Amino acid sequence: MTADPTPGGPASGAAEAGSAGAPAVRSGRAAGVTGRIPAPALFAVSGVTQYAGAAVAVGLFDVVAAPVVAWLRIAVAALVLLIWQRPWRSRWDRRRLLTTGAFGVVLAAMNVSFYVAIAHLPLGTAVAVEFIGPVAVAAVTGRTARERWAIVVAFTGVVLLAGISLRLGSGAVTGLVAIFVAAGFWAGYIVLGRRVARAVPRPAAAHGPAAAGGALPDAPAPQVDAQAGGGLVGLALAMGIGAVVFAPLAAGAGAVLRDWRLAAAVVAVAVLSSVVPYGVEQVVMRRVSAATFAVLLAILPASAAVVGAVMLHQWPHGLEILGLALVTGAIVLTAPPRRPTT
């Protein structure tokens, strides 16, 4: 659920950051593994994993409220990412810290509202409707007729899906309101996510001879993982901030603390829906163009529909399938034209 089909969003920003030549670059062990997997395959696995985690979360809603499950997902994922990326090793200026904090709050709010939505709507429908946010950003910031047509096509698909969802009962209204709120936060995620993804982490201030101006002989240049760049470091801190801001939701998490099976399910949700997809997204965004990334996004509504059908028995029919197809087509339309190679 965290991605960007627009040429001005994180995808293109990540591409620019990935090509920056200021710091020395090393290929870490994780980067070597993911580097051998084709980006489309990596992204497809990420999409299925993400929505499998959402399906597991839906199964928890009868015991733990949806917003609480969302917060637990954010908190656990933040803990994993903080231990993994250790953002305290980087130097943070005020501007970068504020941007990362805002990104974390938007990211957390997006996830909370999304979980409220899937408590009332089919998973595939919720994901497709939420895409109105990034498609709208593409239409507003784009310069071609394709982007304008994309919002028309997406809006038509969303109207079909919303109309069908209203037949599900009064809870569907709550679900639709929540998913439109999530779509709005997703638009904010795009704007802030680009800045976070393209930021290159700087090592913390040195101590000893180097800090005093007497640089050590043959000292290696600062190294930055080519696949992670500033994205994962910023994401780790952002999720930590988001978890702290939404910490009051923890008051409803008592059942999880008393039952190890619920706790294990929450950890699975966090890993499947946050750690894996967000991490893979940062890798993919640095390996493909904005146009390719936008096309890859088009598989997400279908992935969500398949996972919803298999794991939650939410089978789409008739006009729902048409609505999903229209939203998917709109995502493809947002892809910027490929630049000719010379």
Distance, CA of 175 to CA of 162 (rounded, Å): 10
Which residues span the domain enclosing 273? Answer: 10-17+37-201+224-333
Distance, CA of 260 to CA of 262 (rounded, Å): 5
Round to the nearest angstrom and report the end-to-end CA distance of the chain.
Answer: 35
- Please answer whether residues 282 and 239 qualify as being in contact, where contact means their C-beta atoms are separated by less than 8 angstroms: no
Number of domains in the chain: 1
pLDDT, tens only, 275-333: 788 778 767 777 776 667 767 777 788 888 888 888 988 888 778 788 888 888 887 77
Q: How confident is the model at residue 63 (pLDDT cuts 50, 70, 90)?
A: very high
User: Is residue 75 assigned to a domain?
Assistant: yes
User: Is residue 289 assigned to a domain?
Assistant: yes
User: Is residue 5 assigned to a domain?
Assistant: no
When pLDDT is averaged across residues 170-174 and rounded to a whole number, the result is 83
Q: Dump strand ranges (E) for the chain.
A: 24-26, 90-91, 202-203, 223-225
- Please answer whether residues 225 and 26 qualify as being in contact, where contact means their C-beta atoms are separated by less than 8 angstroms: yes
Model confidence at 216: pLDDT above 60: no
Mean pLDDT, rounded, of the chain: 76
CA dist 269 → 9, 18, 105, 252 (Å): 26, 29, 19, 17
User: Is residue 100 assigned to a domain?
Assistant: yes
Strand partners, 224: 25
Q: How confident is the model at residue 340 (pLDDT cuts 50, 70, 90)?
A: low
User: Is residue 22 assigned to a domain?
Assistant: no
pTM: 0.76
> Tokens representing 107?
């990211």
Q: What is the pLDDT of residue 264?
A: 94
User: Is residue 340 assigned to a domain?
Assistant: no
Q: Is 123 or 324 the better-scoring residue by pLDDT? A: 123
DSSP code at position 66: H
Model confidence at 15: pLDDT above 80: no
Give the position of tokens 């999720």.
Answer: 239
Model confidence at 88: pLDDT above 70: yes
Q: What is the pLDDT of residue 300?
A: 84
Q: What is the pLDDT of residue 70?
A: 95
CA dist 37 → 8, 31, 47 (Å): 26, 10, 15
CA dist 292 → 11, 122, 230, 240 (Å): 10, 28, 21, 30
Model confidence at 195: pLDDT above 50: yes
User: Is residue 219 assigned to a domain?
Assistant: no
- Please answer whether residues 72 and 270 qualify as being in contact, where contact means their C-beta atoms are separated by less than 8 angstroms: yes
Distance, CA of 307 to CA of 48 (rounded, Å): 7
Q: What is the pLDDT of residue 183?
A: 93
User: Is residue 31 assigned to a domain?
Assistant: no
